[in-house]
Amino acid sequence: MKRGQNSNQVVYPGSFDPITMGHVDIIRRLSKSFDRVVVLVANNAQKKFLFTAEERKELILKALKGTDNLKVDVFAGLTVDYMKQKKIDKIVRGLRAVVDFEYEMTMANINRRLAPNIETLLVFASPEYYYVSSRGVKEVALNGGALKGLVPDCVRKPLREKIKTSKKE
């Protein structure tokens, strides 16, 4: 560990469009093992999001209210650049199924090439959330399905409203 590193912090990056119960589960579990968990909300102009970056940040903060060691940041650019700026050397990626592994391994190797001192930790989703994805949740909402247990309670209403608005556009 290099001097000046924030050794017991971890960055959990993603789009969180919207945050799901799977995300919440991983963040809560991380918060028990690290002094600080930084949830890094992607703000990529090339990608079309349902919620703005600031809306996603607010939903995360509401969903994880009471998690004292949580920080939520918005960042446009490479996660490793954010981590270098903040002197954090551990990134966490969640795995739901074997299909996620290949993509996450590729990303971990790219990140290692860009920033050799940053370590990628893979955390498996709890079995009850293996099937939950933001994309799947949006599909359920789009078709009027039940969202209970898929997203935090504070996300259900804003998600339905965004879906309704996006259908009109």
Whole-number Å distance between alpha carbons of 18 and 6? 28
Whole-number Å distance between alpha carbons of 103 and 26? 18
Whether 134 is a known active-site residue: answer yes
- Residue of 29, 86, 96, 156 marked catalytic: 96
- Residue of 57, 93, 133, 134 marked catalytic: 134
Whole-number Å distance between alpha carbons of 71 and 144? 32
- Residue of 2, 3, 32, 47 marked catalytic: 47
Whether 96 is a known active-site residue: answer yes
Whole-number Å distance between alpha carbons of 17 and 7? 29
Tell how far CA 44 is from the center of its chain.
14
CA-to-CA separations, 26 to 43, 95, 128, 133, 155, in angstroms, rounded:
21, 10, 12, 13, 17
Instruction: Point out the residues that are catalytic.
Output: 23, 47, 96, 134
